[in-house]
Structure 1
Amino acid sequence: MSHFNLENELNNALRMDAPLARAMPASRKGLNDSECNASLNMSMKTPKKGNKSFSGSKTPSKSNESLKKTPKSSGKSHLSSKYGTPGNKNSRTPGGDRFIPNRSTTQFSVGYYKIMKEEKGPDENENLLSPSEKEYKRVMSENLNGDALNSKILSFKAKAPSAPESFTNNMKVLYSSSKTPSSAKKTLRQIPQVPERILDAPDIMDDYYLNLVDWSSTNNLAVCLGGAVYIWNATSGTITQLMEVENSEEYIGSVSWVKEGNYLAIGTSTGEVQLWDVVEQKRLRNMAGHSARVSSLSWNSHILSSGSRSGNIHHHDVRIPQHHVATLAGHSQEVCGVRWSPDGRYLASGGNDNILNIWSSQFNNLPQDNQPLHVFSQHQAAVKALSWCPWQPGLLASGGGTADRQICFWNCNTGTFLNSVDSKSQVCSILWSKEHRELISSHGFAQNQLTIWKYPAMTKVADLTGHTARVLHMALSPDGSTVVSAGADETLRLWKCFEHDDQKKKATKSTSKDTSTTFRKSMIR
Structure 2
Amino acid sequence: MGPSTPTRSKGAATALARSMATLGMDSPLTDVSANVRPVRMTLSPMRFKTGKSNAPRSRQEKEDIVPSGMDDARAMISKDWDGPDGVLPPRRRSAATIGHQRGDRYIPNRDLNRTSASSAQPYREDAAGESLTSIHYTERSDSVSSSASSLAEIDPHAGLEDVCAFEQGQRILSFSAAPPSSISGQKDPRGRYATKKATLPSSLTAAGRRRIPTAPERVLDAPAIVPDFYFNLLHWSAQNVIAIALQSAVHTWNSETGEANFLMDLEEESERVGGGGLISSLRWDADGNILAVGTDRGYTQIWDVNRGTRLRTLRPDPNGGADASTINTIAWAPDGTLNVGYASGLIREHDVRQRSSVTRSLERAHAAQVCGLAWRDDSALLASGGNDNVVKVWDRRTSVAKMRKENHCAAVKALAWSPHNSSLLATGGGSADRCIHLWNTTQNTRVQTIQTSAQITSLHWAPHYREIVSSHGVSNTENNEGALNVWAHPSGQKLAELPAAHDGRVLHTSLSPDGQCLATVGSDESLKFWRVFEEPTDMNKSAAQRGILGSGYKNIMGSMRTNTGSRSAAPRSLR
Q: Would you say same fold, with TM above 0.5?
A: yes
In structure 1, distance between residues paired with 2:183 and 2:350: 73
Q: Tell me which residue corresponds to 1:207.
A: 228
Counterpart among 325, 329, 338 of residue 292 in structure 1 = 325
Aligned residues of 1:263 and 1:277 also touching (Cα < 8 A) = yes
Which structure 2 residue ranges, 5 or more long, are not aligned?
A: 1-180, 269-274, 317-322, 545-549, 562-569
Cα–Cα, structure 1 residues 186 and 524, in superposed 2: closer, same or farther, change >3 Å? closer
Q: Residue 540 of structure 2: which of 504, 507, 523 is its match?
A: 504
Asked if residue 350 in structure 1 is aligned to residue 350 in structure 2, the reply is: no
Query: Does the 8 A contact of 2:484 with 2:501 survive in 1?
Result: no
Q: 1: distance between equivalents of 2:185 and 2:220?
A: 64
Q: Is the contact between residue 260 and residue 556 of structure 2 (CA under 8 Å) also seen in structure 1?
A: no
Distance 1:185 1:201 in 2: 37
Is structure 2 residue 333 aligned with structure 1 residue 306? Answer: no
Q: Give the letter aligned to residue 207 of structure 1.
A: D
Q: Which residue of structure 1 aligns with residue 436 of structure 2?
A: 407
SS of corresponding position for 1:223? strand
| Residue 318 (structure 2) pairs with residue 277 (structure 1) | no
Hey, what does 2:294 align to over in structure 1? 267
One-letter amino acid matched to 1:242: L
TM-fit CA distance, 1:217: 0.4
Q: Following the alignment from structure 1 to structure 2, what is the Cα–Cα distance between the partners of residues 185 and 253?
A: 42
Residues 258 and 556, structure 2, Cα contact 8 Å, conserved in 1? no
CA contact 1:227–1:245 (8 Å) conserved in 2: yes
Secondary structure at the residue paired with 2:182?
coil
Alignment map for 1:153-164 (pairs within 5 Å): 158-160=182-184
Alignment of 1:20-59 (within 5 A): none
Who is 2:165 aligned against?
Answer: none
**Which segments of 5 or more consecutive residues in structure 1 lack a partner in the other structure?**
1-156, 163-174, 364-369
Deviates more, 1:210-219 or 1:327-336: 327-336
Rounded Cα–Cα distance in structure 1 between residues aligned with 2:520 and 2:468 = 14
Q: What do residues 422-448 of structure 1 show as CA deviations (whole Å, max 9, x unaligned)?
A: 111100110111111101000013421
Q: Quote the residue 1:122 is aligned against.
A: none
Cα displacement string for residues 363-399 of structure 1 (whole angstroms, at most 9, x for unaligned residues): 4xxxxxx111111000000000001001100210000
Give the letter for the 1:451 counterpart: N
1:325 matched to which residue of 2?
359
Say what the alpha-carbon RMSD is for the aligned residues. Answer: 2.5
Aligned residues of 1:299 and 1:340 also touching (Cα < 8 A): yes
CA separation of 1:191 and 1:221: change in aligned 2, threshold 3 A: same
Q: Answer whether contact 1:197 1:515 (CA < 8 A) is retained.
A: no
Question: 1:467 and 2:487 equivalent?
Answer: no
Q: 1:459 to 1:161 in 2, by over 3 A?
A: closer
- How far apart are the structure 2 equivalents of 1:362 and 1:274? 26
Deviation digits for residues 1-29 of structure 1 (CA, Å, limit 9, x no counterpart): xxxxxxxxxxxxxxxxxxxxxxxxxxxxx
Whole-angstrom CA distance in 1 between matches of 2:307 and 2:432 = 44
How far residue 235 of structure 1 moved from its aligned partner, in angstroms, is 1.0
In structure 1, the partner of 2:462 is 433
Letter in 2 for 1:235: E
Query: In the superposition, relative to structure 1, how do residues 505 and 264 fare at CA in structure 2: closer, same or farther (>3 Å)?
Result: closer
**Count of residues paired in the alignment:** 348
1:515: how far off?
Answer: 9.7
Alignment-derived partner of residue 31 in structure 1: none
Match of 1:224 among 233, 245, 248: 245
Structure 2: distance between partners of 1:219 and 1:265: 16
Residue in 2 aligned with 1:142?
Answer: none
| Aligned residue in 1 for 2:490 | 456
1:488 pairs with 2:488:
no
Q: Which residue of 2 is the match for residue 33 of structure 1?
A: none
Provide the C-alpha distance between the structure 1 equivalents of 2:453 and 2:543, rounded to a whole number of angstroms.
38
The alpha-carbon distance between structure 1 residues 185 and 284, as it changes in their structure 2 partners (threshold 3 A), is closer
The answer (yes or no) to whether the contact 2:436–2:449 under 8 Å persists in 1 is: yes
Alignment-derived partner of residue 47 in structure 1: none
Q: Secondary structure at the match of 1:246?
A: helix
Per-residue CA deviation, residues 260-295 of structure 1 (Å, 9 max, x unaligned), is 111000111110111000000000000123210111
Q: State the SS of the aligned residue for 1:445.
A: strand
Offset of residue 516 of structure 1: 4.6
Deviation at 1:514, TM superposition (A): 6.5
Matched, 1:421 2:444: no
- Aligned to 1:187, which of 189, 200, 207? 207
Q: Is the 8 A contact 2:282 2:292 kept in 1?
A: yes
